[in-house]
A and B are shown apart, each in its own frame.
Chain A
Amino acid sequence: MEIAIPQSPIAERETYLNAKYGVWSWLLTTDHKRIALLYLISITFFFFIGGFFALLIRLELLTPAGDLVQADTYNKLFSMHGIVMVFFFLVPSIPATLGNFLVPLMIGAKDLAFPRINLLSWYLYIIGGVMMLYCIFTGGVDTGWTFYAPFSTNFSNTKVVEAGLAVFVAGFSSILTGLNFVVTIHRMRAPGMTWSRLPLFIWAHYATSIIQLLGTPVLAITLTLVVAERALHLGIFDPKLGGDPVLFQHLFWFYSHPAVYIMILPAMAVESEIIACFSRKRIFGYTFVALSSIAIAVFGFLVWAHHMFVAGISVYSALVFSFLSYAVALPSAIKVFNWTATLYKGSIHYDAPMLYAFGFLGLFTIGGLTGLFLAALGIDVHVTDTYFVVAHFHYIMVGGAVMGYLGGMHFWWPKISGRLYPEGWARLAALIVFIGFNLTFFPQFLLGYMGMPRRYYDYSHMPEFQVLNVLSTAGATVLGVGYLLPMVYFLWSMRYGKPASDNPWNAAGLEWKTASPPPTFNFDEEPVVTWEAYNYEELDAPPHAQEVPVAR
C-alpha cells in the first residue's frame, strides 16, 4: 500500500500530497483527496483480480470443449468475476475515487460533511475486500454474482456465506459514501453555488447517492436472508419449507437493477464535464440533463422485474415492468441527445479525455439500444439468460461505466497528481480500449441471438458457436492491453510527467481554480460563485497544442 509521492520541482508549495509523510498519514487521513487515492489503489487492485478471472473465462471459451479448467472452477471464475467487478470495482469506481476527490472541490467545500465517516467507508470496503479475498483463496464461490436461491441457500457447497458477508460489509461502505455526498451537496456548497449552478457531475452524483442510500440496505437484507437460510434453514426461499425462490429474485433485483445506475450515472457525470470542456460550451439543455439523472434514480427503482420475465411472474406484472423499462430508457436517451447537441457549433478538441467521451457515447448508445430488445417481452423470452444479455450489460457497465471512469481519470489526473501524462499514449490507449471492447462484446450479441446460454463452461454440443467465441477471446486480449496501458503511463507520469498547471485544459469548474494538486483544505480562501456552470465563453481554448507532455 505504498504511494509514490511525486517529487514536485516547485517543492515550496504545500499540497495534499506533501502535507504529511508516512504510512499513518495516509491510513488515518480524513482528507477526502487522500481517501480518494486509497480507494483508487484498492479498486485498481480488485479490477485486475476481476480482470484476471475474465481472461481465464475467455480462454476457456476459446474451444468448445471444457479443457482449460474444471467445470466447478469455471463456475467459480464467472461468479467471482461478477462479484469482484460489481461490488468491489464498479460500484465504488467513480463515486469513491473521482467523486470523493471532486465533490467537495466542485462545490467549493473544504472536505466532505463527515470526513471520519468517509475514512470509515474505506475501511469497511477494505474489510469487505479482505473477506472476499479470503473467500477467493479458501475455495471461492460458485453461485454467480446473483446468488439465486435455492441454489445458493440449499445446494452450493462453496463459500456462499463468506462471499455474502463480504458483499454485505462492502455495501455499508457504499451506503456511507452516498450519505456523505447527500449531506455534503445539501449543506456544504460555497456561497453563490446554487442548485442551478451545480456542475452536472454533482447532479449525477446526487442521484447516485440517493440510490446507494435507498437500495443498498435491501441488498444487505437479502444477503442476510440468504446467509440465515443457509445456516438455519428458515424456509424463506426454500419451497420445501413453504418458501418462495422467486421472492429472492424480487429482493435481489430491487437493489441490483438500481445498482446498474449506481455504476452508469457517475460515468454520465464525467461525460457531461468532458464534453463541455472539449467543446468549449455550456452543456445543451442543462436542466434536462440534470433532471434526467434524478428521473433515472426514481424510475430505476421501478423496473427490477424485467430481469424476471421468464422466472414465473404473471403476464400482467411482466407487462407493467416492460412498460416502466421503456420509461427509464427515455432519460438516458435525452442525455445522449443533449450531449450530441452540445457538440453543435462547439470548438472541439480531440484530447485523450474527449476520445474516451466519444467512446462512451458510442458504447453506451449500443448498450442502451440493445436494452430496448431486452425490455420487449416477446424477444426477452428468447434472449434472456443468453450471451445477448451478457453483451448488453457489458456495453453498459464496462463500455459505459469503465469508459467514463477512464475518461474521468485522464481529465482530472493533472489535478489529482499534479502531473501530465503522455498524450499520445493516452490517445492510443483510448483507441485500443474501444476496438478491443467492441471485438470482445459485439460477437456476444450474435451468440446470444443464436441461442448460446450464459454461464456455459462447455459448448461441445454446439460447435457452431466457436467462431464468434474466438473473436470475443481475441478482443479480450486487446482490451486487456488497453486497460494495462493507462496504469503504466499514469504511474510513469507520477515521477516523470511534466508538472501540470492549475488548469491545464482551461476548464470551467471550481476544482480548476485551485492549485494542482490542491492544498489539504482545497482552497486558500473560500470561493464565492457568481457565474453559471460551464461558463466557457469566459475561458480561452486549452493550451495543449504547443505543449510537449514529457518534462525536459
Chain B
Amino acid sequence: MLNNFPLWPQQASTLAHRVDALYIFLIVVTGMMALLVCVFVIFFAARYRHRPGVLAEQIEGSTALEVTWSAIPFLIFMVIFAWGALVYFKERTPPADATEVYVVAKQWMWKVEHAEGQREINELHVPVGRDVKLIMTSQDVIHSFYIPAFRIKQDVLPGRYTVEWFRATKPGVYHLFCAEYCGTQHSGMVGSIVVQEPAQYEAWMNGGSTGPLSASGEKIFAELGCATCHRTDTQGRGPNLQGVFGHPVQLEDGRIVTADENYLRECILDPGAKRLKGFQPIMPTFQGLVTEEQVNALVAYIKAISTTKPADGAKTSASAAIQEVPAKAQANSAQTKAQLNAAQPNRIQVQ
C-alpha cells in the first residue's frame, strides 16, 4: 500500500521499511512539536494583541517551565537518537554470508564486478531475496553509491574500500545515483539497479560470464609472481595467504588487526605500512602497477583461498606462520629481492 504513496521512492529492500518507519515517526513527532509552537504563537498573538489601555503583564520566567521544556524534548530526542542508531547499525552491518560485488567508481561511471563473474557498467543485476555486499573503491575523486529505493548510500573513496549492503525485496529497475559531487558529469553518473527473480538472475549470470572474479585473481596472482613468496606451505619468504582473510594477524609493531578487505588492499599497494610480524620488508609496492579491478580480483582470490581452506590447519595459516617462519624468511630476503626485480616486467605487462 505504501509503495504507491507518492512522497517517497519505492520500498525495494529490507531496510526501506525500517527507514520509512522512523521517517513517519519523525514526521508525526516533529509535526506535533511544530503544531504546538504554531498554535501557541498564533493563539498568543491573537489573544494578546495590543488593545488600548491594556498593558502587558511582565513575567520574569519560570525555572520549572524551562526544566520541563528542556527535559521532555531531550527525552524525545533520545528516542529518535536510539531508533536512528539501531537502523544505522543494521545498515552498516553486512551479513557474513552476503554475495559480494566489487564496485569501482571513476569520473563518471560505475564499474561493477560480481564475485561470481559478470561485469557491468552503470548497471547492477541482483536477485530478489539475497544479501548483497558491495565492496567499493574509487579511481579518482570521492563518489557516493546511492540507491533511493533501498534507502542506502555510502561514499566511495579513493585509496580504500568502503562497504554497503542490501537485500532487495521486489523485482524491478531502480535508480542508482552518484550522490557526492564529483565534477562535470556528476549528474550523468547514474545507472540502474536491476532486481530479478532468482531464476532470471541465474540465467543472466550464466550468459557470457568470464568466470568467477577469484579465478581472474588467481591468474593475476600467478602472472605477478606473487606465488614465489606467498607459497602454500610454511617455506615462503612471504606469509602463506591461505586462511588469512577475516582472521586477526599480528603486525611487526605488535598491533593485532583483522585481515579484512581493506587490510589486504593496503598490503598490496603499501606493503610496508602494516607488515606481518616475522617477515622482512621485502615486498615491493604495487601502487600504480595494478588497476583497481586487478586489486579487487586479487582480494577476491585471497578471500576465496581463505574460505575454501579454512584456518583450522594451523601450520598453513598466516597467523600461525607468524611464530614459526621468521628465521627462514630472514635468510631468504636477499634472494627474494633479486627475484622480485626480475618479475617486474611481467607486472607492467599485466597492467
Contacts and interface: CB of A to CB of B under 8 A. Distances in A.
B37 interface: yes
Interface in A303-327: 309-312, 315, 318-319, 322-323, 326
A347 B56 contact: yes
A369 B30 contact: yes
Interface in B184-243: 184-188, 190
Given A370-B30, A376-B84, A377-B87, A330 B73 contact: yes
A453 B190 CA distance: 11
Interface in B240-262: none
B131 interface: no
Interface of B: 7-9, 18-19, 22-23, 26, 30, 33-34, 37-38, 40-41, 44-45, 48-52, 54-62, 65-66, 69-70, 73-74, 77-78, 80-81, 83-92, 107, 140-142, 144, 146, 148-149, 151-155, 157-160, 162, 175, 177-188, 190, 270, 287
A308 to B, nearest CB: 8
B248 to A, nearest CB: 18
Contact of B34 (A319, A341, A365, A451): A365
A373 B162 CA distance: 24
Nearest to A458: B187
Contacts of B287: 240
Among the interface residues A375, A377, A378, A451, which one has the most CB atoms of the partner chain B within 10 A? A378
Interface stretch (A144-152, A201-209, A263-271, A424-432): A144-152
B190 A377 contact: no
A176 to B, nearest CB: 32
B178 A326 contact: no
A537 B61 CA distance: 15
Contact of B187 (A71, A150, A373): A71
A349 B50 contact: yes
B7 A449 contact: yes
A159 to B, nearest CB: 15
A188 interface: no
Contact of A461 (B85, B154, B162, B175): B175
A366 interface: yes
B37 A155 contact: no
Interface of A: 66, 71-72, 75, 142, 144, 148, 150-151, 154-156, 239-240, 242, 244-246, 279-282, 284-288, 309-312, 315, 318-319, 322-323, 326, 329-330, 333-334, 336-338, 340-341, 343-350, 358, 361-362, 365-366, 369-370, 372-373, 375-382, 384-386, 446, 449-451, 453-459, 461-462, 536-537, 541
A312 B158 CA distance: 11
A372 B66 contact: no
A315 B92 contact: yes
B50 A541 contact: yes
B157 A246 contact: yes
B148 A451 contact: yes
A24 to B, nearest CB: 45
A456 B61 contact: no
A148 B182 CA distance: 9
B59 A281 contact: yes
Contact of B58 (A142, A384, A537): A537
A384 B81 CA distance: 16
B183 A446 contact: no
Contact of A350 (B49, B84, B188): B49
A105 B153 CA distance: 51
22 contacts: A71-B184, A148-B141, A148-B181, A284-B62, A312-B154, A326-B74, A346-B44, A347-B51, A348-B49, A349-B49, A369-B30, A373-B23, A373-B30, A377-B84, A378-B86, A380-B88, A385-B146, A451-B9, A451-B175, A461-B175, A461-B190, A462-B175
